[in-house]
Chain A
Amino acid sequence: MANHTPAQKVALARHAGRPGTADYIQALFTDFFEQKGDRLAGEDAGILGGIALYHGRPVTVIGHRKGRNLAENQRCNFGMPNPEGYRKAQRLMRQAEKFGRPIITFIDTPGAYPGLEAEERGQGEAIARSLAVMSQITVPLIAVITGEGGSGGALALAMGNTVLMLENAIYSVLSPEGFASILWKDSSRSSEACDVMKLTAQDLKQLEIIDDIIPEPEQGAHTDPDAVFQAVDAALQKALSRALRISDPAVHRQKKFRTMGTAFLQEPGKDVL
């Protein structure tokens, strides 16, 4: 494994040539049928989803889509979904549950879009509802953080029975720029933020936020996509075969996320006050 600094990993995670959801679908799945629309208000290209075969098994696959060129970037809003994207994902997850299909998600977003219309149509509600849906659905869910895991907009697809993460992907409560801007009122201190935020796969494995790290080529996923597809495929197969043996995936997920961070609680006597 290469020794990149957290700030270098942020750059690698955001690299324009880094494989995205559409690439993983093309490389690892067959018979992909894209499903569009949330059946309420619209279609959001920032989230790509549908049904496909994964090693012969029907699965529902959903992920953030940033787009491969400028026109696509714009159509996908650079992978920053609007509420319609999250509501489409909820629809697909419910449908997966109905037909007993496992769900595989690919996470790669700077965050949910902070726009006027997104707020007007309930961005917060859309993310909250996605979390509620993921706590309920009775089929296994495997999440793979492939690039940027930006805040609630990433978590809204990432409540997996298993959460995998690429070696140079990042996952954080906010972008390093936003973090520096909120805490130090200075967004230019973002590389400093990278160091303290614990956003690398290694840090997150240690904090037990993710389950496994998928190795990348020395200089990042974009330098050898085929090797990355192979590594992701191997990790996914292993995770899926394990997840399929869980007797109640919903309860498993509830328990998994219930304990996150509890090791760091303290309950001192009244003397702190």
Chain B
Amino acid sequence: MLNNRFSNRRDRLLRLKVMREGGRLPVTNRIDAPVLFEQCPACNAAVSKKQWAESLSVCPQCGHHRPIGAYQRLEMLLDQGTFQELNANLCSANALEFEGYDSKLDTLRRRTGLSEAVVTAKGKIGGFSAVIAVMDSRFLMGSMGVAVGEKVALAAETARKAKLPLVIFCASGGARMQEGILSLMQMAKTASAITRFQDAGGLYIACLTHPTTGGVTASFASLGDITLAEPNALIGFAGPRVIEQTIGQALPEGFQRAEYLEEHGFMDAVVVRSQLKSTLTTLLRLHSKGGARRG
């Protein structure tokens, strides 16, 4: 016990020394060491949990943006005390009676505290009211089944009726296989609801985070009046593995990343996480007497 405490202290001092000298931190594999550090999956630097929290889960060494949960994202974006969740309990059923799907949903709901792969809410960003939807990749890769489609469509409809702007943070592996053709139809449902909202003069800001692929890319994620993305987020229709298998060659460095899409004309701006709230606030201010108020 006492030995443990001393060795932990030694580890910490060693890390501080390395940090002072600006080097990379050693990776500890000790089982008995309390988990104060978490390795960056991109550059392997050991970053303290406190630092991860302070930097909004962005590596202070290399700038890697770790995926974050929907509620964490909402906390980061919404003004304190303005969060009002919409349709919190809406979730998918096992429509196609797919084996094992019920228990998978059950386990995920308990483990993540989410009822589905998207959280929708009303709230204020920098003083401006908006409807916001945030997908969570921990829930079956953020895949879109009937419930996700429904919640996104309801969010667009709420925004249309309340004449509020709509902000959606996308993170999805695409359609939810377990819901088969019904998932595919959610592309039509969401694209149609978003279009109707936009035709009524509504402002829709799409924020694409890692990863945004498949049926979500081929529906509401690609229809923003303004499209933003987090650095290095993977964004595409087909997954990189499928493309490699199809064309039989390796893909170029940076392919399907946010910066690549920006270069090819599919992105207004790549925005680092720490700047997202202020960027959204500016955009909402720029539309505060314009589009979002019409309809």
Given known A-B contacts A135-B192, A261-B186, A272 and B146 have beta carbons under 8 A apart: no
Q: Report the stretch among B44-52, B72-80, B85-93 that lies at the interface.
A: B85-93
Give the contacts of B235-250 with A (CB-CB under 8 A).
235-238, 242-243, 246-247
Of the residues A113, A135, A207, A273, contact of B195 by C-beta under 8 Å: A135
Q: How far is the CA of A121 from the CA of B89 in the complex (A)?
A: 38
Q: Report the stretch among B33-41, B107-115, B125-133 that lies at the interface.
A: B107-115
Q: How far is the CA of A172 from the CA of B238 in the complex (A)?
A: 16
Q: A118-B238, A124-B221, A199-B180 are in contact. List 12 more A-B contacts (CB 8 A).
A: A115-B247, A124-B236, A131-B219, A135-B191, A152-B219, A172-B184, A174-B175, A197-B180, A197-B181, A198-B181, A207-B182, A265-B90
15 contacts between A and B (CB under 8 A): A114-B238, A118-B238, A124-B222, A124-B237, A127-B237, A136-B199, A152-B218, A173-B181, A174-B175, A179-B177, A265-B90, A265-B91, A265-B93, A266-B92, A272-B109
Given known A-B contacts A112-B237, A179-B177, A272 and B192 have beta carbons under 8 A apart: no
Q: Are B192 and A254 in contact (CB under 8 A)?
A: yes
Residues of B within 8 A of A125 (CB): 217, 222, 266
For residue B255, give the distance in angstroms from its CB to the closest CB of chain A: 7
Q: How far is the CA of A204 from the CA of B181 in the complex (A)?
A: 8
For residue B242, give the distance in angstroms from its CB to the closest CB of chain A: 5
Q: Are B237 and A171 in contact (CB under 8 A)?
A: no
Q: 1/0 per residue B192-220: CB within 8 Å of A?
A: 11111001000000000000001101111
For residue B78, give the distance in angstroms from its CB to the closest CB of chain A: 21
Q: How far is the CA of A257 from the CA of B189 in the complex (A)?
A: 5
Residues of A within 8 A of B30 (CB): none
Please tell me if A119 contacts chain B, counting CB pairs below 8 Å.
Answer: yes
For residue B212, give the distance in angstroms from its CB to the closest CB of chain A: 9
Give the contacts of B128-180 with A (CB-CB under 8 A).
145-147, 149-150, 153, 175, 177-180
> DSSP class of A's interface residues: helix, strand, loop or mixed?
helix
Please tell me if A244 contacts chain B, counting CB pairs below 8 Å.
Answer: no
Given known A-B contacts A174-B175, A198-B180, A155 and B237 have beta carbons under 8 A apart: no
Residues of B within 8 A of A131 (CB): 187-188, 191-192, 218-219
Q: How far is the CA of A128 from the CA of B246 in the complex (A)?
A: 22
Given known A-B contacts A123-B218, A171-B181, A264-B146, A258 and B91 have beta carbons under 8 A apart: no
Q: Are A114 and B89 in contact (CB under 8 A)?
A: no
Q: Are B113 and A273 in contact (CB under 8 A)?
A: yes
Please tell me if A142 contacts chain B, counting CB pairs below 8 Å.
Answer: no
Of the residues A112, A135, A198, A253, contact of B96 by C-beta under 8 Å: A198
Residues of B at under 8 Å CB distance from A?
87, 89-93, 95-96, 98-99, 106, 109-110, 113, 115, 145-147, 149-150, 153, 175, 177-189, 191-196, 199, 214-215, 217-223, 235-238, 242-243, 246-247, 251, 255-256, 264-266
Residues of B within 8 A of A116 (CB): 243, 247, 251, 255
Q: 1/0 per residue A173-185: CB within 8 Å of B?
A: 1100011001100
Closest partner residue, chain A, to B213 (CB atom): A124
Residues of A within 8 A of B217 (CB): 124-125, 128
For residue A45, give the distance in angstroms from its CB to the closest CB of chain B: 18
Q: Are B246 and A115 in contact (CB under 8 A)?
A: yes
Q: How far is the CA of A155 from the CA of B149 in the complex (A)?
A: 15
For residue B240, give the distance in angstroms from its CB to the closest CB of chain A: 9
Q: Are A152 and B195 in contact (CB under 8 A)?
A: no
Closest partner residue, chain A, to B191 (CB atom): A131
Residues of A within 8 A of B106 (CB): 272
Q: How far is the CA of A182 from the CA of B239 in the complex (A)?
A: 11
Residues of B within 8 A of A196 (CB): 96, 98-99
Q: Are A258 and B189 in contact (CB under 8 A)?
A: yes
Q: How far is the CA of A204 from the CA of B185 in the complex (A)?
A: 12
Given known A-B contacts A120-B264, A254-B196, A258-B192, A132 and B109 have beta carbons under 8 A apart: no
Please tell me if A42 contacts chain B, counting CB pairs below 8 Å.
Answer: no
Q: Are A114 and B237 in contact (CB under 8 A)?
A: yes
Q: How far is the CA of A272 from the CA of B165 in the complex (A)?
A: 31
Q: How far is the CA of A269 from the CA of B115 in the complex (A)?
A: 10
Among B145, B182, B193, chain A packs the most CB atoms within 10 A around the CB of B182
Of the residues B222, B236, B265, contact of A128 by C-beta under 8 Å: B222
Q: How far is the CA of A262 from the CA of B193 in the complex (A)?
A: 14
Q: Are A269 and B89 in contact (CB under 8 A)?
A: yes
Of the residues B110, B177, B194, contact of A132 by C-beta under 8 Å: B194
Q: How far is the CA of A172 from the CA of B184 in the complex (A)?
A: 8
Q: Are B153 and A258 in contact (CB under 8 A)?
A: yes
Among B93, B175, B192, B199, chain A packs the most CB atoms within 10 A around the CB of B192
Q: How far is the CA of A178 from the CA of B138 in the complex (A)?
A: 22
Of the residues B96, B115, B188, contact of A272 by C-beta under 8 Å: B115
For residue B190, give the distance in angstroms from its CB to the closest CB of chain A: 9
Please tell me if A268 contacts chain B, counting CB pairs below 8 Å.
Answer: yes
Among B175, B237, B255, chain A packs the most CB atoms within 10 A around the CB of B237
